[in-house]
Amino acid sequence: MQYFLLIIAAMFVNNFVLCQFLGICPFLGVSKKTDTALGMGLAVIFVMGVASIFTWLIQKLLVLAGIEYLQTIAFILVIAALVQIIEMVLKRFMPSLYSALGVYLPLITTNCAVLGVAILNISTYGVVGATSLLQSFLNGVFSGAGFTIAILLLAGIRERMDLDLVPKPFRGFPITLITASIMSMAFVAFGGLLG
């Protein structure tokens, strides 16, 4: 039950994009087509999952040394290095996955949502706190899944909207931002789910 709650919380209640407003850049930038949005989403799930494990371990190390306040700088270092290594490994051993993720993998290095999940994992923020390594990993993966849901929804809407007659001043980004805000309002309603 606890894990179920954690998954629901990560995907919907604390949805990274629509409820916590993290990772807005790729959310708006890569949501023109559903297939690129899916690629971006998968890359985020992947990196968030792996980053959660490693940052959780690093946090233990920081606590041991009594320097928790350095977590931001340490986490950025870890995430950046991790993404680079993952990219190299994928390029060598899984070229098809590498080309599928394409440019999105290095893009995620500087994505605040990934740093967000790493820091929120070890803080007490949220309805369900993630305290163990497994919980931390699950939170990372399903936060990524929440990001994927949000970006896929927006990409689907934008694909349909491209065919509609939108008033000229609203074409392009303005109508996208309005759409995103309405989606955000809808997602805030999930806040009532866990009381």
Partner 1 sequence: MFLLSGVNPMTILWSTLVLLVLALVFGLVLAFCGKKLAVQEDERIGKVREKLSGANCGGCGYAGCDAFAKAVVEGKADVNLCNATSAENKKAIGEIMGVAVNTEATRIVVACNGGNNAADKYEYMGYGNCKSMELLAGGRKQCQWGCLGMGSCTDVCPTHAIEVGMDGFAVVDKEKCITCGKCLVACPKQLTKRIPADAKIYVACSNCLRGGKDVRAICKVGCLGCGLCAKNCPQGAIEMVNNLPIIDYSKCIGCGLCADKCPAKCIKKLED
Q: Which residues here bind partner 1, judged by CB under 8 A?
A: 58, 61-62, 65-67, 70, 73-74, 77-78, 81, 84-85, 88-89, 91-92, 163, 165
| Shortest separation between residue 138's beta carbon and partner 1, angstroms | 25
Question: Chain centroid to CA 165: how far?
Answer: 32
Q: Which is nearer to partner 1, 89 or 188 (CB)?
A: 89
Q: Which is nearer to partner 1, 82 or 180 (CB)?
A: 82
| Shortest separation between residue 152's beta carbon and partner 1, angstroms | 22
Q: Which is nearer to partner 1, 95 or 191 (CB)?
A: 95
Exposed, middle or buried, 95 (CB in 10 Å: 0-12/13-18/19+)?
A: exposed
| Shortest separation between residue 147's beta carbon and partner 1, angstroms | 25
CA distance 141 to 96: 22
| Shortest separation between residue 174's beta carbon and partner 1, angstroms | 17
The residue type found at 3 is Y
Q: Which is nearer to partner 1, 166 or 182 (CB)?
A: 166
Q: Which is nearer to partner 1, 25 or 67 (CB)?
A: 67
The residue type found at 17 is V
CA distance 91 to 96: 8
Contact criterion met (CB below 8 Å) for 158 and 31: yes
| Shortest separation between residue 64's beta carbon and partner 1, angstroms | 9
Contact criterion met (CB below 8 Å) for 2 and 170: no
| Shortest separation between residue 95's beta carbon and partner 1, angstroms | 8
CA distance 176 to 83: 29
Q: Which is nearer to partner 1, 67 or 177 (CB)?
A: 67
CA distance 33 to 171: 16
Q: What is the CA radius of gyration of the chain?
A: 17
